[in-house]
């Protein structure tokens, strides 16, 4: 009779050699056995079953519906739980992508083209037919950069929810299932931005500047996606890349 504890990449079997152990073994005893197997201090261990943090050390395991063969996730190490990774500051890249009034590029036929930031109060800029293809690509690149930057507060909110969950466990409005869904939605939004970037004809700019800026923005978006995964890994050891 035993339970299986998943800790990082390890799967640990904790055995109890007596009957009705789930009504006798306390959470504290289970943590002590996990500590023996992993060398992690008892006070640093958090155990989850079906996404719920087990918090009462004096409670018997049956209170948390733990039974023979149950799978338990263990969090913690001999360091304090780390804060989520720092979020990349998008302000600099957004500014660098903004077309200046005197930015000039060479067209494929060698013609010099001056890129101006669109003036949306000017009716002449509302129609893409009156703008060069290079201007359209530059503006779309800026738009994707701005949309990506606007997602930074969403990641911060997500990180706050994960930290709250790691400390207080499941509530009516917050569960591991909800966090997984929010992570999926964030990743989906980033994927849409990557698809938009992939469709931009940056080769129209013979100087290579737009291509370089697109490459830089792709790296930032990929970094964001990695950060979202790392944040969720604080409470979900089964996170897999989407």
**Domain total in the chain:** 2
CATH label of the domain that carries residue 7: 3.10.20.90
Q: Tell me whether residue 39 is in a domain.
A: yes
pTM of the model as a whole:
0.49
Structure confidence by residue, pLDDT tens digits, 177-210: 888 888 888 888 888 888 888 888 877 777 888 8
CATH label of the domain that carries residue 228: 1.20.58.120
Q: Tell me whether residue 160 is in a domain.
A: yes
Structure confidence by residue, pLDDT tens digits, 45-93: 888 887 577 888 888 888 888 888 888 888 877 665 445 445 555 455 4
Measured CA to CA in angstroms, residue 217 lies from 40, 100, 192 at distances of: 40, 18, 13
Does 200 lie in the same domain as 118?
Answer: yes
Residue ending a domain, choose from 34, 51, 75: 75
Q: Tell me whether residue 240 is in a domain.
A: no
Does 47 lie in the same domain as 154?
Answer: no
Backbone angles phi, psi at 179, to 5 degrees: -65, -40
Average pLDDT, the chain: 76
CB atoms under 10 Å from CB of 172, counted, come to: 5
Structure confidence by residue, pLDDT tens digits, 116-149: 344 434 444 445 457 788 888 888 888 888 888 8
Does 124 lie in the same domain as 58?
Answer: no
Domain span at residue 13 reads: 2-75
Does 228 lie in the same domain as 119?
Answer: yes
Does 33 lie in the same domain as 133?
Answer: no
Q: Tell me whether residue 188 is in a domain.
A: yes
Does 200 lie in the same domain as 109?
Answer: yes
Q: Which residue has the higher pLDDT, 231 or 120?
A: 231
Q: What pLDDT does 170 receive? A: 83
Does 113 lie in the same domain as 221?
Answer: yes
Does 199 lie in the same domain as 150?
Answer: yes
Q: Do 97 and 88 form a contact (C-beta atoms < 8 A)?
A: no
Q: Compute the half-sphere exposure of residue 138: CA atoms within 13 Å on the CB side of its CA.
A: 26
What letter does residue 98 receive in the DSSP assignment? Answer: S
Does 143 lie in the same domain as 66?
Answer: no
């Amino acid at each position: 009779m035993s339970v299986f504890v998943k800790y990082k990449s390890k799967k640990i079997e904790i055995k109890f050699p007596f009957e009705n152990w789930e009504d006798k073994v306390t959470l504290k005893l289970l943590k002590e056995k996990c500590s023996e197997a992993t060398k992690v201090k008892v006070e640093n261990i958090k155990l989850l079953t079906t996404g719920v943090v087990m918090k009462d050390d004096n409670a018997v395991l049956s209170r948390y519906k733990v039974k023979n063969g149950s799978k338990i996730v263990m969090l913690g190490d001999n360091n304090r739980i780390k804060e989520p990774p720092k979020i990349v500051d998008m302000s600099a890249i957004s500014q660098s992508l903004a077309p200046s009034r005197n930015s000039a590029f060479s067209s494929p036929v060698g013609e010099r083209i001056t890129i101006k930031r669109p003036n949306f109060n000017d009716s002449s800029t509302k129609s893409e037919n009156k703008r060069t293809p290079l201007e359209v690509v530059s503006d779309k690149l800026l738009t994707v950069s701005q949309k990506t930057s606007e997602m930074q507060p969403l990641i911060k909110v997500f990180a706050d929810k994960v930290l709250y969950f790691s400390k207080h466990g499941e509530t009516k409005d917050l569960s591991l299932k909800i966090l997984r869904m929010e992570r999926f939605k964030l990743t989906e939004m980033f994927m849409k931005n990557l698809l938009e970037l992939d469709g931009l004809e940056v080769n129209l700019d013979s100087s290579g500047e737009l291509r370089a800026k697109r490459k830089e923005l792709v790296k930032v978006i990929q970094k964001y996606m990695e950060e979202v995964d790392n944040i969720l890994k604080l409470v979900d050891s089964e996170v897999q890349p989407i």
